Amino acid sequence: MSNIYGVDIGTSNFKMCCKEKDQILNEKNMIAIANKTELLAFGDEAYEMYEKAPENIEVSYPVKFGVIADIENMQTLLLNFFNKINGDKKQPGNTDFYIAVPTDVTEVEKRAFYELVADSKVKAKNIFIVDKPVADAIGAGLDVTKSRGIMIVNIGAETTEISVLSLGGIVISKSVKIGGNKLDDVIISQIRKVYNLVIGSKTAESLKKELGSAIKGEEHFAPGFGRNILSGLPVSIDISSDVIYQAIVDPLHSIMDSIKVILERTPPELAADIIKNGIYVSGGTSSINSLEKYINQETNINVNIVENPSESVVRGLMGVVSNPDFAGVAYTPQDKTYD
């Protein structure tokens, strides 16, 4: 009996699950390398060091905009996460891998995900690829094999993928290079402008979680720690939710515009299904306050935020494995010769 693993390699988080264990490993997709060669930490432990490490320790994300940018570090991470989920026990070589791959990338970039596992020290017998939006919809508990239009919007760390699915395939899909990290960046520059305060990306992320809202609400405050530009000294300032709203409103508008473009291009019969069943929203960044209200106001369509949105893709991969009805959505990339 082979062990089956599902892997969702996100820009910010690495998610992996094993069919036998029914647990999901969800850690920061991050690696800390000391003196250019020595693995110091990976996952959440490496994230602790982010923006705090001395020069000889490089802490980095191997994935950029949903695509593998540093294959060597990514292979190291894959092996370490694989060992971690197995409790460092020796695994039999008989393992199957299901990998979720973004759709709006080139064939070469898709193939990189396949080769990442094929060339790594994780001995994989079979490797299957599942399009991310399809896995996402299955993870949200939807039956993707029916002739019913499903719209799924996955707002990740660096990309937002908007797709319309039917009959187990993707009818239209669009990827926008805006996600949670972009929101953090605009929060950093807005706080610098308004408060003369320089903050790091971790502080920006926690302010986004605490104060961020897609719809302007009642003003409230949270402390922001950073360095005052004028005095150069570290300070703590109460940051207003209105300032955070002003920062994130434009990127959210851009995501909204792309959702509207896809809705306009959706064939009428599928559009009818979407109006009936609503838009499904997943991905880690979908947990911003009032996001469903905002999308609903702009489109007049019901919005369903998927449960545990950051893990819906990897749950969907397990759904593909355990439900024979979904077997058709997994495929192996055809060997192509690239000149």
Residue 154's pLDDT is: 97
Q: Which domains does the chain have, with CATH numbers?
A: 3-136+314-331 (3.30.420.40), 142-306 (3.30.420.40)
Strand partners, 227: 198, 234
Write down the residue that tokens 């029916």 correspond to: 146
* Nearest by Cα to 178 from 161, 192, 163: 161
Taken as a whole, the chain contains a residue count of 339
226 vs 203: CA distance, rounded Å: 8
Tell me whether strands 221-228 and 197-198 are parallel, antiparallel or unpaired: antiparallel
**pLDDT tens figures, 119-173:** 998 888 899 999 999 999 999 999 999 999 999 999 999 999 999 999 999 999 9
- The pTM (predicted TM-score) of the whole model is 0.94
pLDDT at 88 over 90: no
**pLDDT tens figures, 253-311:** 999 999 999 999 999 999 999 999 999 999 999 999 999 999 999 999 999 999 999 99
How sure is the predictor about 337, in pLDDT bands with cuts at 50, 70 and 90?
very low
Greatest mean pLDDT among 18-22, 108-112, 206-210 lies in 206-210
115: number of Cβ within 10 Å: 16
